[in-house]
């Protein structure tokens, strides 16, 4: 994505795409935020709230997915250089994976007896979700400043990477709990799903980092 891309992001020709990118990021942030609140509700056994938050999360992810398809269609019709179009598509698809994995985590959480998990596991999962929420918030800022301040975008991308490393550590703690604590009320199948839930939380962070890597590569070329 060269400097000319941001010349293309002019009011007459690029305003629609830029607005769509920002809307897509907001939907993704809301999806990850709903997941965090869903984990809190599930930990307390607040089934109705947990179900409502999953429905909201699912709606955010589906809206983000529909908007991604709309953006891809808009990009194919645009007067952009092919390499610019490819970079933007890669960026949008990477952000979309964040929302997809947030929904996957919520889908798994909705079918396991999380309220019966040991307090240590509940805390570990909540800490991962809180860090994911922070990670997506910083990622959104990172992408938003990219056209106007590539150096700041790189700094924010580095913050996303540091948060992803923090989430890796939290993931290790959660897996240790899974291996060493007693999970009364959990079937073998539920324990397998709990492990998949933790994997999904960690993958949300991985896709935040993947997206930040794309931003960093673009920022280095245009600064």
Per-residue pLDDT of 126-165, as tens digits, reads 999 999 999 999 999 998 888 888 899 999 999 999 999 9
Is residue 28 within 8 A of residue 136, CB to CB? The reply is: yes
For the chain, the three-class secondary structure string (H helix, E strand, C coil) is CCHHHHHHCCCCCCHHHHHHHHHHHHHHHHHHHHHHHHHHHHHCCCHHHHHHHHHHHHHHHHHHHHHHHHHHHHHHCCCCCHHHHHHHHHHHHHHHHHHHHHHHHHHHHCCCCHHHCCHHHHHHHHHHHHHHHHHHHHHHHHHHHCCCCHHHHHHHHHHHHHHHHHHHHHHHHHHHHHHHCCCCCCCHHHHHHHHHHHHHHHHHHHHHHHHHHHHHHHHHHHC
**What structural domains does the chain harbor?**
3-222 (1.20.58.220)
Is residue 166 within 8 A of residue 113, CB to CB? The reply is: no
What pLDDT sits at residue 173? 97
Measured between alpha carbons, how far is 147 from 145 in angstroms, rounded to an integer?
6
Residue 4 has pLDDT above 60, yes or no: no
Question: What's the mean pLDDT in 168-189?
Answer: 96
What pLDDT sits at residue 147? 81
Residue 49 has pLDDT above 80, yes or no: yes
User: Rounded to 10 degrees, what is the CA torsion of 70, 74, 77, 79?
Assistant: -160
Question: What's the mean pLDDT in 36-42?
Answer: 97
Confidence category of residue 9, pLDDT binned at 50, 70, 90: very low
Is residue 163 within 8 A of residue 205, CB to CB? The reply is: yes
Confidence category of residue 80, pLDDT binned at 50, 70, 90: low
pTM of the model: 0.90
What pLDDT sits at residue 72? 83
Residue 108 has pLDDT above 80, yes or no: yes
């Amino acid at each position: 994505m060269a400097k000319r891309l941001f010349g293309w992001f002019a009011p007459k020709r690029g305003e629609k795409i830029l607005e769509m990118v920002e809307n897509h990021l907001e939907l993704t942030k809301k999806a990850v935020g709903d997941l965090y609140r869903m984990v809190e509700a599930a930990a307390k056994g607040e089934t109705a709230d947990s179900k409502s938050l999953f429905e909201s999360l699912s709606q955010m992810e589906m809206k983000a997915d529909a908007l991604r398809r709309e953006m891809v269609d808009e990009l194919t019709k645009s007067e952009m250089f092919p390499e610019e179009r490819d970079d933007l598509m890669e960026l949008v698809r990477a952000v979309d994976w964040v929302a997809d994995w947030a929904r996957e985590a919520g889908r798994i959480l909705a079918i396991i007896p999380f309220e019966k998990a040991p307090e240590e596991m509940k805390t570990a999962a909540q800490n991962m979700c809180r860090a994911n929420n922070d990670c997506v918030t910083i990622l959104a800022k990172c992408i938003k400043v990219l056209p106007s301040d590539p150096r700041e975008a790189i700094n924010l991308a580095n913050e996303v990477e540091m948060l992803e490393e923090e989430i890796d550590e939290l993931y290790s703690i959660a897996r240790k709990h899974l291996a060493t604590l007693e999970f009364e009320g959990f079937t073998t199948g539920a324990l397998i799903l709990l492990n998949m839930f933790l994997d999904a939380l960690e993958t949300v962070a991985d896709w935040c980092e993947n997206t930040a890597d794309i931003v960093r590569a673009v920022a280095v070329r245009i600064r």
